[in-house]
Structure 1
Amino acid sequence: MNWKSPYILLVIAALFWGGNFVIGKGFATTMPPFTLAFIRWGVAFLFFLPFAKKELMANMPLWKQEWKTLFWMSLTGIVGFNTLLYIAVHYTTSINAALINAPTPALIALLSFLFLKETVHTRHIIGIVFSIIGVTWIVSRGSLETLLSFSINKGELWMLVAITSWSIYSVIVKKNIGRLPAAGSFLVTMIIGMIILAPFAMYEWIVEKPMTITITSILGFLYIGIFASIVAFLCWNKAVADLGPGKAAPFLNLIPVFASIFAITFIGETLTTAQLIGGAITIFGVLITTGVFIEKRKHLVHRRTNWRGFD
């Protein structure tokens, strides 16, 4: 097996991000969300600093010049998405949270059209519609009565806000790609994020008195700080650089798959019929949005053309 293959790197990234949902759920009753997010990025910063320090120091004038962009990247990506995710799993299952995360590529396509004036194709619209139907099925648990009465779990509503935050972050990154050095800007957004999170985490620590630190909790912190943050991001970015975002995006669909496997295996969650149906519809919509079926059809046509060449 070639561990440097971009496809293997994409699977590794999805694996570690899937685990983040389950770890977050595991901490839900003992560690408040802002504190957990602060610890996560504190661990990530300490481990990533040696690798990005040179790039950080060499571009100080650039960071000062682009501080507004970096602030919004940090607020939406580092602070917003992760804290909202940890809030969400206080009220809903990690499986539900991961499934609601699935339509993110479709939402990014929509926001890219609205704010970056990117072209929207028919497949984008169809994919977005399917994704909306799938998520609606999940949050309503397949019940029209639940949907009409709007008696939806607030954890799922928080998760919808979380993926909106991440999608905004992704659009900001797309707009500024090539302008900001990747490693250095990632480190700067961590620093800004920790500054934003610090007062909220301090308040939680004083008022809510989080759990006593144990070996198990330390292992959890190391997982979300190193593997779900640094390793996953590095694997993802390397694979996207090799394959392009279009070919990489469908691998995000592995996140709810891995999250479900981990949740069922380690914390005893169960997969419901509504989750299966809604998840399948959502992932189908994302696959349409990212053009997987078009690429597959082109590949088959190409193979048939080549085969006829030997007739």
Structure 2
Amino acid sequence: MTRVSPYALLVLANLLWGGNFVIGRAIAESLPPYTLSFLRWCTALLVFLPFAWPNVRKEWPIVRKHMPTVIFMALTGVAGFNTLLYIALHYTTSINASLVNSSTPIVICILSFFMLRERLNKNQTVGIILSLAGVLFILSKGSLATLFAFSFNIGDLLVIAALICWSIYSVLVKRYTGILPGYSTFLICIIIGIGILFPFFIYEAFITHVPITWSFGSLLTVLYTGIFASIVAFISWNSAVSQVGPGKAGIFLNLIPVFASVFAILFIDERLTWYQAAGGIFVVLGVYISTRITSPSGSGPLPLEQSAGANRS
């Protein structure tokens, strides 16, 4: 059986996550964020449990040994990222959220420096500056007055909190590749994530009585996010990151705003503004520069195959 390319897996994961941004925005008035996130992962658990449970029974001692790390992965990658994103999409557009989120590779580079002791090279430093400038341009809508007043959209700030969670999760995936078993760890993360989300779901559904509108669309949303944006996308991402490393995989996150923008324009009538386009160009350019790996002699970039291997551990 031919092995699927990790780069094809990265494209698939980001295609599905691009759709997640748009569907999260489209359903914002029908399904409140904690409810959507909780039901999403409950659906994912039901689908994934039969496939992963035999592995858990054999690999539980390994997972239990690293339980603090697994809990932190569940908090950041399962409960934190998605819930913060769904809350953010109540206040900002899916295009804006996906563009801000595209700075994730820069955050991954910074966290890899502190958590994995990976040194930042000149390209990464330049890329970080360009990407941060692009994010600030998007957040301020191209207005210096907004920038100096620091009166940013709360939704965009929540997206930043979400991408920090996702960056931590991605670095942990790379750090524990070969130590933690993939399927078993992911299943336990889902279970723990559901446990973290449960009290928030109860509070939202039964105490604050946030209205929920059930329809064919909301049902499809739960199924899409639970199966495709969770199981298929996460497994594809984790498999690819373990092969090429978080830094190299991170550049593919630039596909999320591309897919999200196309879907948003086609399906929910959003419009791409000039400041989003300008800021997005800076973000993408910064990420591109930061992920270019120069040859040992400094003569230029390595070929794709070599640069991918340089990130393996």
Same fold (TM over 0.5): yes
- Structure 1 residues 296 and 235: alpha-carbon distance in aligned structure 2, compared to 1, 3 A threshold: farther
Amino acid at match of 1:110: I
Alignment check: 8 A CA contact 1:84 1:159 kept = yes
Residue 51 of structure 2 aligns to which amino acid in structure 1? F
Q: Which residue number corresponds to residue 37 of structure 2?
A: 37
CA distance in 2, matches of 1:186, 1:152: 35
* Number of matched pairs: 300
8 Å Cα contact 1:287/1:293 also seen in 2: no
Distance 2:204 2:140 in 1: 32
Q: How many Å apart are 1:12 and its aligned residue?
A: 1.5
Name structure 1 gaps, 5 residues minimum.
303-311
Tell me the residue number matched to 1:278. Answer: 279
Are positions 1:100 and 2:100 aligned together?
yes
Any idea what the Cα deviations from partners look like across 1:135-177, whole Å, max 9, x if unmatched?
0000001110110111111100111111111112222223222
- Is the 1:74–1:190 Cα contact (8 Å) retained in structure 2? yes
**Bigger-Rg structure (1/2):** 1
Tell me the distance in 2 between the aligned counterparts of 1:63 and 1:232: 22
Deviation (angstroms), 1:243: 4.7
Partner in structure 1 of residue 70 of structure 2? 70
* C-alpha distance in structure 1 between counterparts of 2:293 and 2:218, whole Å: 39
- Relative to structure 1, the CA distance from residue 259 to residue 240 in structure 2 (aligned partners, 3 Å threshold; closer, same or farther) is same
Q: Tell me, what secondary structure is at the counterpart of 1:68?
A: helix
CA deviations on 1:61-119 (whole Å, 9 max, x unpaired) are 23332221111111111111111101111100011110011011111111111232211
What's the CA shift string for 1:242-296, capped at 9, x where partnerless?
Answer: 5554543322111110001111111111100000000010011111111178798
CA distance in structure 2 between the partners assigned to 1:264 and 1:3 by the alignment: 35
Deviation at 1:34, TM superposition (A): 1.1
Q: Distance in 1 between matches of 2:172 and 2:248?
A: 20
State the match for 1:307 in structure 2.
none
Give the letter for the 1:128 counterpart: I
1:3–1:9: 8 Å Cα contact kept in structure 2?
Answer: no
| Distance change in 2, residues 1:248/1:116 (3 Å) | closer
Distance 2:6 2:195 in 1: 34
Over residues 16-45 of structure 1, what are the superposed CA-to-partner deviations in whole Å (9 max), with x where a residue is unaligned?
010010111112112221111111111111
Q: Distance in 2 between matches of 1:204 and 1:246?
A: 37
Q: Which moved more, 1:172-181 or 1:29-38?
A: 172-181
In structure 2, the CA distance between the partners of 1:116 and 1:210, relative to structure 1 (3 Å rule), is same
8 Å Cα contact 1:37-1:83 kept in structure 2: yes
Change (3 A) 1:52 1:277: same
- Structure 1 stretch 61-70 or stretch 86-95: which is displaced more? 61-70
Instruction: Identify the residue that residue 21 of structure 2 maps to in structure 1.
Output: 21
TM-score, length of structure 1 as denominator length = 0.90
Alpha-carbon distance between aligned partners in 1 of 2:175 and 2:79, rounded to the nearest angstrom: 20
Residues 108, 246 of structure 2: 8 Å contact kept: no
| 8 Å CA contact 2:25, 2:89 repeated in 1 | yes
Contact persistence 1:250–1:292 (CA under 8 A): no
Cα pair distance change 1:298/1:196, threshold 3 Å: closer
Write the distance in 2 (CA, Å) between the matches of 1:56 and 1:21.
31
Amino acid at match of 1:193: G
Using a 3 Å threshold, how does the CA distance of structure 1 residues 19 and 3 change in structure 2: closer, same or farther?
A: farther
Aligned residues of 2:37 and 2:83 also touching (Cα < 8 A):
yes
Could you say which residue in structure 1 is the equivalent of 2:176? 176
Aligned-pair CA distance for 1:125: 0.8
Q: Determine if contact 1:246/1:291 at 8 Å carries over to the other structure.
A: no
Q: Answer yes or no: is 1:11 the counterpart of 2:18.
A: no
Residues 1:41 and 1:296: Cα distance change in structure 2 (over 3 Å): farther
How far apart are the structure 1 equivalents of 2:16 and 2:3? 15
TM alignment of 1:1-311, pairs within 5 A: 4-206=4-206, 207-241=208-242, 243-291=244-292, 297-299=301-303
- Paired amino acid for 2:67: W
Structure 2: give runs of 5+ residues left out of the alignment.
307-313
The letter of the residue matching 1:12 is L
Contact 1:95 1:263 (C-alpha < 8 Å) held by counterparts: yes
Q: Distance in 2 between matches of 1:63 and 1:195?
A: 17
What CA distance in whole angstroms lies between the structure 2 residues aligned with 1:235 and 1:292?
24
CA RMSD of aligned residues (A): 2.2
| CA distance in 2: counterparts of 1:150 and 1:209, whole angstroms | 30
